[in-house]
Structure 1
Amino acid sequence: MTTLGFLTGGLRRTDPAAGRAHHAVGGRLALAALAALVLLALLAPVVSPHSPVLRSGDAFLQPGSAGHPLGTDALGYDLLARVLYGMRASLLAAAVVIASGSLIGGLVGVLAGALPGWVDSVLMRLTDLFLALPGLVIAMAVAASLGASYRSALIGIAVVWWPMYARLVRGEIRAWATRPHLEAARLAGVPWGRRVVRHLLPGVRSTVVVAASLDVGGLVVALSALSFVGLSSPAPAAELGAMAAQGMPYLLTSWWVPIVPGIAVMLLALVANYAGDAVRDLLRRR
């Protein structure tokens, strides 16, 4: 019994360190995988074996082969080329929405956190209004009202994506504003704008970076959902959600047509989420 207790006690003592080591390795692998996917997407015109919008002769609904590793769709388009360009569009859209959301939401959050009183109340009630609305439904409504296009999809998602950043930044600003060095700067007569830029913004930078890294996966799925229902670029543009929707009639006969872009969306979302976790852990340790 004593020996068993000794062994289990030793396992309990070593398990946390081993778990952290495995988690760190997994995080590095996720970051490397995301970097590889981003590189593939950026180099799509170079590494793509075919054009995403030109038919490959008479190769219709052809399964994977040497000439078409992922097969072709009903119109003769090479699926590998379209997936690469679709990943490129999804990652670019995610970057644009994250940049606009963090900029608009960060500005609202900084003003609300640094100006308590009626400014904080008005901005936070506006933020709460947007948070209370069904985000994806509002994004679809905005995109539909502007007309189906890539830009409309970006605007629709961006309209509903900034409130989370506003809430996050406002909370961080309010927490940092109570630090002793901020009070000392105020008593020393440091102007408000300089206190915000020099002392408050650096404190929230890492939090925004973590939130942005965790947002990539959700944005890929949201943008794919808009293109799936036809609210993004019209055909024959290569977008993962639209490709999956257009291939649904062939699910039982040529399964690769809708499944391959669906797997690409899942892979992007999973890798981005794990990479976001790794960025969070890295910044937390630092």
Structure 2
Amino acid sequence: MKALIIGANGQLGRGLAAAVPEGAEAVAPPEAECNLTDPDQVQGWLDRVRPDVVFNAAAYTAVDAAEQDEAAAERVNAAAVGALAEAAVRVGACLVHVSTDFVFDGVLGRPYAPDDAPNPLSVYGRTKLAGERLALTHPRNLVVRTAWVYDETGRNFVRTMLRLMAERDRLAVVADQIGTPTYARDLAAALWALAGQGASGVFHFTNEGVASWYDFAVAIREEGLAAGALKKAAMVVPIGTKDYPTPARRPAFSVLDKSKSHAAIGVGRHWREALREMMGRLPHA
């Protein structure tokens, strides 16, 4: 299997490049040479590589900024995905597109299955849902929804918490939004596995277990101290969403039902175990 990775500069793109399975081959051009929103660049790489699979790891992920810049979010998360899906078809490739738990409104009260009706609350969620639908215009394509993705180098919640905990003695973190943290390396491995099986349609993948952002922050403190990434234990205080207003509304409960992925590629590891491994990969750990 030969794959082209779009969005190679991001945390998931790096994870995909690091997780190439035996017998597969991946080409991961830098964003400056293969920008998702530049159809000529993308088509040029598709024509050169002639991949079996195209992984789209690029997205507009600034959730709050999207509320003021809907056109930019739509251009990256929807229009460019539709163009990529058409370009992939022209070279006979399957598109593996990554989406988000933010396509749901968080009011269901149980984990969301792939066929549950989406109802996004934000511009980010709406544009990601539009991108899903454009990707799925072609029945061979695969959409994988995930949540709360982080790695040891990107701009993400884990690294933000580590920085703030080093700078402050006390942090307030939202405790009434529930989801599942996902290590980019584990997500990358799942994408490779699903692509290798020729999966199509909509799947969900995160690490196992559930957490609030507060739970996640407390775990980051504990694992950071154990790994030597933190030198002191900052106090983490739980607060409500109402106490931390943001431009974009977030789902209160966006845990994803992964039964379909479990049946295809097995059950993954708990988010806490994945976080511990990530801490061990930090440069100062």
Higher relative helix content = 1
Normalising by structure 1, we get a TM-score of 0.24
Larger relative CO (CA 8 A, sep 6+): 1 or 2? 1
Instruction: Look at both structures and tell me which one has the larger radius of gyration over its CA atoms.
Output: 1
Larger strand share, 1 or 2:
2
